[in-house]
Structure formats: C-alpha cells, structure tokens
Chain A
Amino acid sequence: MSEMYVSGQSGVGRLIQALAERGHRVIGPIVRNEALVYDEIKGVEDLPKGWTDLQEPGRYRLEQRGDEKLFGFVVGPTSWKQYLNPPETVLWSGVISPEGFVTDPAPEPPKYAFFGVRPCEVAALGVLDKVYSTSNGLPSMAGYTAIREQAFIVAVNCVEPGGNCFCVSMDTGPTAEAGYDIAITEIVHNGNMRYLIEAGTPAGAEVLGDMGNLEEPSEAEIEARDFFLTEAAANMGKTLEVDDLPELLKGNARNPRWESIADRCLACANCTMVCPTCFCNTVDDNLSLDGTHATRTRKWDSCFTLGFSYMHGLPMREGVGARYRQWITHKLATWVDQFDEMGCVGCGRCITWCPVGIDITHEAGAIRRADLRDTPIGIGGFA
C-alpha cells in the first residue's frame, strides 16, 4: 500500500481543483432528475452532500441522510462507459471525391478525470479495456483507447453498500485494489468527516505531492477506515453464487426457466444500457441530402432488441427468453471463455433499473436450483 494521507472536505475540493488545473475535465456524481448521475463537477460543492440512494429490484429513490457525507450512496443509472464510449459517437465522416471519398479529420479526444469511481466500476473499466483494446490481436475500437489512456481515475471505496450490491461475490469491492490513480475512503471519525487518500499510480502520487497540505492519518483513523470497509464487505445487499456458474448456465440452454423470465422481461434493454460493462454497439450511416457527405455514427445497442440479431430479414433471437439467456449466459459464462473473467462486476444496476425488477442474482440462483445438466434436456447445451 502506498502512503496514506488524510484531509477534510476541503482536501477533496483541492483535489478536484488540482485535476482541473492539469487540464482534466473532472466528471463526478451530481444529483439531477432525482437520481445520482455523472457529469462535470467544478468543485466539492457540486458533489451530492448528504444524499443517499435506496435501491431494490425495480426501485430507486434518493433520500436525505441527515449528515455531511459527500459519498453516502452507491451507483446510479449512469456509468463511466458513457464517457469512454459515448452513446453516440461519430466514427468517421467523409466527403465524396473523384477517388471515392476523403475522410474528415477526427476531433481531439477529451481528457477526463473520473471522480468518485466505485471499486466495482474500477473493475468494470478493466473489463471494458479487455473487450475494446484488443480482440484476437486486432486493433482497438476506434476512439476508446485514446480517451481511456488519458483518463485519470479517482476511486471512492464503499463503506455503505446499496441494496442491490454484490461486489463481494464478484471479488471487485468494496475496496479498490488496483486500477485507480487515487483512492479515497470517506469515514466519520469522532464526529468529523475524514477522507483517507492514497495514490495507486505514479501519476496519482504526483498529483497528491503537488497538492501539499495533506496530513498524515492517525492510527485510529486508519483503523476506522479498515473497520468500515470490512463491515461493508459483510453487508452486501445481494449474493451471487459464482462457483461452477459458467458451466451451469452453458449447460442449461434449454431450461424452461428462460421462458418464465420471458413472461416478465419487457425486452426494454434498460439492464444493458445501465450496465457498466455491456459494450455492444451498432453503426448508423447517414448521407447528406445532396449525397456528397456521409457520416457513420456508432450507437449503443442491446442484445435485448429484436433487430440486434437480424440477418437478411430474420431475427436469430426471436424469443425474449433466448435474448435474456444470451445476456446472462454471456455476462456470467461465455465472457469467461472469451476474456478470462466474468462480464459482471456486481454493481446491481441491472436489478435496480429493471422496470419489473428481474434480479440477475435471483435468476442465476433459480437456474442453479433447477439445474438440468444431468437430464436429457440438458445434454448438448452451450458447454
């Protein structure tokens, strides 16, 4: 562990300032439309002081905590992927020419600092890096690498897990172990708001070094930090039994449970939009009215839509059950075959933002209880 510092809320503000002075556009949690979302922050006063979020399957409410906490909540409907792979990005545009067409120059990638990245979200960045940076030795997804490499990550460890959190099951939290430049843990100690700050990279150490005026934490403060984080790990809202899960799901492709889920699932794609690792996208080609200028836009797409699997006129995944099976089996099973880890980090967003409250941990458990691998119906599954 690197050297640890401590400050009050003014130190958090100075860190935001220091990142802005280094040319980063600082993005952090703010309250908007009765939800905690990520957007540009100018100072500590923009952070959602005193707010918390109540989360259950299909339910999300903000409440006043009655204290001064800056980070007394977990994750909202937005995630950092909206900055690394925006919902709509112009991939390229070009104008028709005698030699076919000429590509317009690409814009400069923005330089972000992500402020208040939860440990599960730090893990999600690592998952996206694997998906987007290389695939079978092929080059990266256009735009992602340039934005990602410039992004400065300020993690905030979770001392109060939310109702749908299961990062402990996924081994991604509640403490960020790597993948951040600076990590902060917010504690209340002797009635004071205290922020224990540590660097995870040389870039992080440099920023902290330049800030100055950071104190050394007392033994008691470090003990309190460790106590709160240990407590958090013991208070997860949900649990996902991951043992043997990939083989379980791949071997249950014909389980009737998928149809029972289809009876409830609206195929609205909310789960994939809020998921910090769902990476699917489509492209949309547009032409100016005079037919001389073309634009290709990349947009988020979802395996829950009927059009996603369209191939010369027919959808390959016609039923909603097949689409839910594809999603959960990819997240928790085939993702491991492809990227050596699961595609789920345990943030709970898909549970909260599902309009009918379908719970990924519950459905995986239901398949486990009705495991058909040893029956004729289970033979010849995805495995």
Chain B
Amino acid sequence: MVTLTEPAVIDQMTPIPFKVRSVREELSHTFTLELEPPNGDFDFQPGQFTMVYAFGIGEVPISISSSSTREATLLQTIRRTGAVTHALGTLKSGDYVGIRGPYGTPWPMQESKGRDLLIVGGGIGLAPLRPAIYHALENRDDYERVVVLYGTRTPDDILFETELRRWGDRTDITTLITVDAADRGWYGAVGVVTRLIGRVGFDPSNTTALVCGPEIMMTVTAERLMEGYSMEPSNIYVTMERNMKCGIGVCGHCQFGAKFICTDGAVFSYSEVGHLFDIKGV
C-alpha cells in the first residue's frame, strides 16, 4: 500500500461560490463580472486564471482582469462564445458563480524589475494583460519605460477603451492603439499591432515583452521582436490557451508538447513554446 503526497486541499475540483456584485457590458460580446470572494480576499498574481462555473451548466478557464492588490473584488472579463460563457453572460448582481483557482503561472513582474516593459495585446488578450499594467503602474519605480500596444478589429472592439485613453494621457506610460479596419470616423492607426512597435521607444537589450492575443498575433509579434530588435526569446512572454477541464494538470486536455498549459503556463516564455507554434495540431 502506498502513501501519496498529502494534498493541501482535499478537493480541488469543487468550486467555491462567489457573489456577483456587478456586471459590466464591455463590448457587444464581451462583459466583465465583478465577484466578491466569500472570505473577502482573493490572492493571485497578474496573469493567473480561474475556472469559472455557471451552476449546472459548466466551467471555463478565464483570466483575471483586475488588479492583484487594489480591490477586494475579482474581475473576470469574458467573451460570449459557448454555452457556459453565454450562461455567465445572463447573470445579474446578486447571483452566484463558482470559482476554482487561481491557477497558472504569472507574468514575470518580479523578474522584470529595472527593465522596460513592452506590453502587446490583441483583442480580448488585453484582459489578462491588465493586471500586469496595473502592477507596473502601482509599482512604477520598479520599471523603466512602460509601453502598451493594443490592436483590435475595429474601433467598436476596443476593450477597456476609457482606461486605454486615460493611460494614453499619462506621461509615465506610452499607450498606442491600432485597428484592423475602420471607417472615416477613426483618426487612429490602422494595421496590425506589430506596426506600432517601431513607433515607440524601448531598449531591446533591456526589455521584457508581455504578449497576449490570438496565436498568430503572438507569433508574429515575437518573430518581429527577435528578428527586428534582436530580443532574446527568453525575454518574450506569451500566454497560451487550450481546452481545459481541470486547471490542475490532471485532465490532459491542455497538453501542448511537453507542457500542461494550466500548470506549466498559461504564461510561457517564447523560448519554452515558440518552436511549437508552427507545427499544426500540437
């Protein structure tokens, strides 16, 4: 008979009820749930995610989009794509969701102290980056230049637009936005997000890049930073997404090469996973 490592928590698969304090419609298909942790506190690090459970419907992995220090509530920004996210999208203030986590690896905020931060987001990929931006602004002296580059489809798809505009007015952070397509009412940049890289100042030899968006956008951004700016892949971080059922490395769904995205990631350095991006069906 064997004795296995005693688990710290007996059952990691049972969600804990969190009360919905508010629901905010962000974009036509995207909303943010503000959740109250039952014991008033929820410790996590920028870049981590939770499994969010709609009672009786199912569970989905969702990145945390709130500050890891500032508020007592937890923000989860969700796009309506399937049964669970649609169910979550019908919740109102006072309803409950189940939460497991936080899970996954964080953005390298500690390791990046004293360096420039180049934060590149695409679409809803800005949500998991927002805690990193908050962290950088709350600990502004820990970092040199802080640059946020954001690309999305159209001017109507700009996530956290008010906040991006506010950051754009600040002098201690550079924020640029581009869209793939726009009509004549748009006065900003048009084109892919990598085209913004050349328009901002940063020191490639002392920069950590945090990149989140569709896989093709992350690949193109990383390749541009490596080829155009000689950045080391180990200084470029991406956050990955796959089907997840457990979040704790036992269901096998998020296997990606030799990694479980839920426990080895979801934040990876490009040196860990970059070679897998161009193999179909990994």
Partner-B contacts on A (CB < 8 A): 91-92, 96, 99-101, 103, 106, 129, 131-136, 138-142, 145, 148-153, 179, 181, 201, 203, 250, 253-254, 279-283, 285-288, 291, 293-294, 296, 298, 301, 303, 308-313, 316-319, 321-323, 325-326, 330, 333-334, 337-338, 380-383
Name the B residues within 8 Å of A132 (CB-CB): 250
CB distance from B222 to the nearest CB of A (A): 14
Over the window 1-41 of chain B, the binary record of Cβ atoms lying under 8 Å from chain A Cβ atoms (1 yes, 0 no) is 11111011111111001110000000000000000001000
B55 an interface residue at 8 Å Cβ cutoff?
yes
Q: Is B243 a contact of A309 with CB atoms below 8 Å? A: yes
Name the A residues within 8 Å of B3 (CB-CB): 149
Name the A residues within 8 Å of B248 (CB-CB): 135, 138-139, 141
Partner of B96, one of A92, A100, A133: A100
Partner-A contacts on B (CB < 8 A): 1-5, 7-14, 17-19, 38, 53, 55-59, 81-82, 96, 98, 103, 241-243, 245-246, 248-253, 255, 257-260, 263-264, 275-276, 278-282
Name the A residues within 8 Å of B263 (CB-CB): 135-136, 138
Q: Is A281 a contact of B281 with CB atoms below 8 Å? A: no
Q: Is A294 a contact of B56 with CB atoms below 8 Å? A: yes
Q: Is A91 a contact of B258 with CB atoms below 8 Å? A: no
Please report the C-alpha to C-alpha distance between residue A9 and residue B241 in the assembled complex, in whole angstroms.
Answer: 56
7 CB contacts below 8 A, A to B, read A138-B248, A140-B7, A141-B13, A253-B282, A313-B82, A322-B280, A382-B275
Q: A131-B250, A132-B250 are in contact. Are A92 and B2 (CB under 8 A)?
A: no
Give the secondary structure class of B's interface.
loop
Closest B residue to A337 by CB, please name it. B258
Closest A residue to B243 by CB, please name it. A311
CB distance from A350 to the nearest CB of B (A): 16
Name the B residues within 8 Å of A101 (CB-CB): 17, 55, 96, 98
Name the B residues within 8 Å of A138 (CB-CB): 12, 103, 248-249, 263
Name the B residues within 8 Å of A281 (CB-CB): 245-246, 250-252
Which of B9, B96, B257 is most buried by chain A, counting CB atoms within 10 A of its CB?
Answer: B257
Please report the C-alpha to C-alpha distance between residue A294 and residue B56 in the assembled complex, in whole angstroms.
Answer: 5
Q: Is A294 a contact of B12 with CB atoms below 8 Å? A: no
CB distance from B261 to the nearest CB of A (A): 11
Q: Is A150 a contact of B1 with CB atoms below 8 Å? A: yes
Q: Is B242 a contact of A311 with CB atoms below 8 Å? A: yes
Q: What would 7 more interface pairs be, CB under 8 Å, given A280-B252, A313-B81?
A: A100-B17, A140-B12, A150-B1, A250-B257, A298-B13, A322-B280, A382-B279
Name the B residues within 8 Å of A145 (CB-CB): 4, 7
Name the B residues within 8 Å of A321 (CB-CB): 281
